[in-house]
Amino acid sequence: MQVKEQLLKLKPYQPGKPIEEVKKEFNLTKVVKLASNENPYGSSKKVKQAILNELDQDQLAIYPDGYSALLRTQLAKHLGVDEKEVIFGNGTDEVIQIICRALLLPGKNTVMANQTFPQYKHNAVIEGAEVREVPQVNGEHDLEAMLTQIDENTTVLWICTPNNPTGTYVKKQALIEFLNKVPKHVLVVVDEAYYEYVLAEDYPQTIPMLKDYPNLMILRTFSKAYGLAALRVGYGIASADLIQKIEPAREPFNTNRIAQAAAIAALEDSEFISECIDKNKKGLQQFYRFCEELKLDYYPSEGNFILIDFKRDADEVFQALLQKGFIVRSGNALGFPTSLRITVGTEQQNAEIIEILKDFV
């Protein structure tokens, strides 16, 4: 047996520690996970009802609609795009995989920021493509430097905005100027997993740009603000022509029946999303005040997480929080060895973690 050589150099995804394990290890009754940018308020109540209704149909023995037709219609309406301009994935993670399967191979290369969402690189390596990582400046993508990395063998370029793990974003004018300079043979993937949380006024609305840039693709997800991470629904938006070309790289039944029903219901409850966004904004302010009080460096965030520099080994701070029942993400795995990425929780959770951090620092 011989697996692809490049797989031997990769590690399987390391998830945050599960809550049950931490409870046992430290003998805790309450453990809060602020590690994966999940929605601390769960999801809309309408979602639960939609799932129960779906179960009542007794259709679990039947394959789901592989085209996600009902969800597709609702989502296309919601976004103001054509139904043919959408591709669904078992999470956006799968859409990233589909893009890589469809466009990357040995001899081709892909350009991305360093540090950014690790799945772009991971999937590109599996496909045997060359990965060109461009160092960030102040936690932001260096678009000029990324342009210089493009050549005739570049097929995909990734922009994560807001960027995971820094929370920074690409401004509208900068994105337009960039897109004007990128050669048309390069697919520019703009990952907007945290789109719903963004409040910055100069954050670009990319959907109307699709008509001007046929080499643009937008990624979004139901896992973050919509609170459906467990159900795995993400999607890409691009020209009908491009979607049609990459569709064969998608698994036939990649989004399941329950998830499709849940996503439709989640879309209908815009009030839930507005509330979450409002609370997230206040939560970020709790962390900003904390950082300013303790003179800690951080990046202002447009997502539901914040990267804070503690100027000491991140794993130490991570462990101190873990013992007190808070699971966060150590920057060690994210390319920021002295920082933690903390998901914004409820007001109470934020206050509690901040208290512990104050004691520790």
Ligand X SMILES: *Cc1c(COP(=O)(O)O)cnc(C)c1O
Please give the distance of CA 24 from its chain centroid, rounded to a whole number: 30
Tokens coding 49: 């009802």
Decide if residue 227 touches ligand X (CB under 6 A).
Answer: no
Query: Which region, judged by CB under 6 A, interacts with ligand X, from 5-13, 223-231, 276-284, 292-300?
Result: 223-231
Min dist. Cβ of residue 26 to ligand X (A): 27
H-helix or E-strand spanning residue 159 = strand 154-160
Min dist. Cβ of residue 117 to ligand X (A): 4
Q: Which of residues 113-132 bind ligand X (CB under 6 A)?
A: 117
Min dist. Cβ of residue 91 to ligand X (A): 3
Decide if residue 229 touches ligand X (CB under 6 A).
Answer: yes
Q: Which of residues 203-222 bind ligand X (CB under 6 A)?
A: 221
Do 226 and 266 meet the contact criterion of CB atoms below 8 Å apart?
A: yes
Decide if residue 91 touches ligand X (CB under 6 A).
Answer: yes
**Residue (164 or 260) nearer to ligand X, CB:** 164
Give the Cα separation of 67 and 6 in Å (integer): 32
Q: Is residue 296 exposed (0-12), middle (13-18) or buried (19+ Cβ within 10 Å)?
A: middle
**Residue (120 or 318) nearer to ligand X, CB:** 120
Q: 109-114 and 154-160 as β-strands: parallel, antiparallel, unpaired?
A: parallel
Question: By Cβ distance, which residue is nearest to ligand X?
Answer: 91
Residue from the set 54, 85, 127, 191 that interacts with ligand X by CB under 6 A: 191
Contact letters for ligand X, residues 162-181 (x by CB under 6 A): --x-----------------
Min dist. Cβ of residue 304 to ligand X (A): 10
Min dist. Cβ of residue 99 to ligand X (A): 12
Give the Cα separation of 132 and 52 in Å (integer): 46
Decide if residue 310 touches ligand X (CB under 6 A).
Answer: no
CA distances from 26 to 19, 60, 330 (A): 11, 39, 18
Omega before 162 within 30 of 0, i.e. cis: yes
Min dist. Cβ of residue 223 to ligand X (A): 3
Phi, psi dihedral angles at 179 (to 5 degrees): -60, -35
Contact letters for ligand X, residues 10-49 (x by CB under 6 A): ---------------------------x------------
Min dist. Cβ of residue 336 to ligand X (A): 15
**Residue (127 or 302) nearer to ligand X, CB:** 302
Q: Which of residues 48-77 bind ligand X (CB under 6 A)?
A: none
Decide if residue 88 touches ligand X (CB under 6 A).
Answer: no
Residue from the set 234, 236, 283, 331 that interacts with ligand X by CB under 6 A: 234
Give the Cα separation of 310 and 332 in Å (integer): 12
Q: Which residues pair with 137 in a beta bridge?
A: 140
Do 105 and 128 meet the contact criterion of CB atoms below 8 Å apart?
A: yes
Min dist. Cβ of residue 36 to ligand X (A): 7
Min dist. Cβ of residue 293 to ligand X (A): 28
Omega before 165 within 30 of 0, i.e. cis: yes
Residues touching ligand X: how many (CB under 6 A)?
Answer: 14
The long-range contacts involving 286-291, CB below 8 angstroms and separated by at least 24 positions, are: 286/347, 286/350, 286/351, 286/354, 287/342, 287/344, 287/350, 287/354, 290/354, 290/357, 290/358
Residue from the set 146, 170, 182, 193 that interacts with ligand X by CB under 6 A: 193
H-helix or E-strand spanning residue 180 = helix 172-181
Min dist. Cβ of residue 13 to ligand X (A): 11
- No. of H helices and E strands in the chain? 12, 13
Interacting residues with ligand X (CB under 6 A): 37, 91-93, 117, 160, 164, 191, 193, 221, 223-224, 229, 234
